[in-house]
Amino acid sequence: MAKIVSVPARALVSYVLNPAARFLLRIGVTPNVVTVAGTVGVLIGALGFGARGELFWGTVIVTAFALTDALDGTMARMRGPSGKFGALLDSSMDRLADAAVFGAVAYYLAGLGNPYGGLVAALICLAAGQVVSYVKARAQSLGLDADVGIAERLERLLIVGVGGLLGAAGLEWGLPATLWFLAVLSLITVLQRLVHAAKSDKAPVTGEPA
């Protein structure tokens, strides 16, 4: 099943980010610095604004800084081959940022009395999102292919962002509804990756004894 955000849309985002990536590299900023700065920005938007119910500004700040996930990758590709630590740092910061976003949403909805079961949905999204990433990373470490899924990190952040904007507009059902939608998509993505990894598991063929 295809990703929600199409390849052309992703290419457009990369096209917009390319000039920024070249500029930052030119002035000596490293991809790792951008990774950490982006995570700090997401934490501020999620915990400093979203958790307190300031959904509009929380969504805007989180979305803006979440784009650094594409920016640091673009910078790394432009700079050329480097060590493996950058990939580890990027993955670790992504998990921290995702936990902050959905943790903040869960905290906010708990304060409202769990409208439409939104708190439960947020916790499912939090857990399933971590598993989505884990399955891919673990599969790669085992030599399997799990690079599929309808709702990857970009899709998950965009969907929860839509929910934040609906909530900011005064629609009480908006955020819980998008969280339930995302919870289903995240669980489907976990299943997709497990199935794809299983299909890519080719046992070595051994010859018959003479």
**Per-residue confidence band for 1, with pLDDT thresholds at 50, 70 and 90:** very low
Question: Would you please indicate which residues are annotated as catalytic (active-site) residues?
Answer: 94
Residues 43-97: pLDDT tens digits? 999 999 999 999 999 999 999 888 787 788 888 888 877 778 888 998 899 999 9
Please state the rounded mean pLDDT for residues 141-166: 91
pTM of the model: 0.85
Count how many Cα atoms sit within 13 Å of the Cα of residue 73 in the half-sphere of its side chain. Answer: 13
For tokens 């939104």, name the residue. 118
Residues 128-150: pLDDT tens digits? 999 999 999 999 999 999 999 89
**Per-residue confidence band for 210, with pLDDT thresholds at 50, 70 and 90:** very low
Please state the rounded mean pLDDT for residues 185-197: 95
**Per-residue confidence band for 111, with pLDDT thresholds at 50, 70 and 90:** very high
**CA-to-CA distance for 44 and 60, rounded, in angstroms?**
11
Output the pLDDT for position 205. Answer: 47
Is pLDDT above 70 for 204? no
For tokens 């290419």, name the residue. 11
Tokens coding 162: 């839509």
Residue 58 and residue 82 in contact, taking contact as beta carbons nearer than 8 Å: no
What's the chain look like in SS3?
CCCCCCHHHHHHHHHHHHHHHHHHHHCCCCHHHHHHHHHHHHHHHHHHHHHHCCHHHHHHHHHHHHCHHHHHHHHHHHHCCCCCHHHHHHHHHHHHHHHHHHHHHHHHHHHCCCHHHHHHHHHHHHHHHHHHHHHHHHHHHCCCCCCCCCCCHHHHHHHHHHHHHHHHCCCCCHHHHHHHHHHHHHHHHHHHHHHHHHHCCCCCCCCCCC
CB count in 10 Å sphere of residue 28 = 7
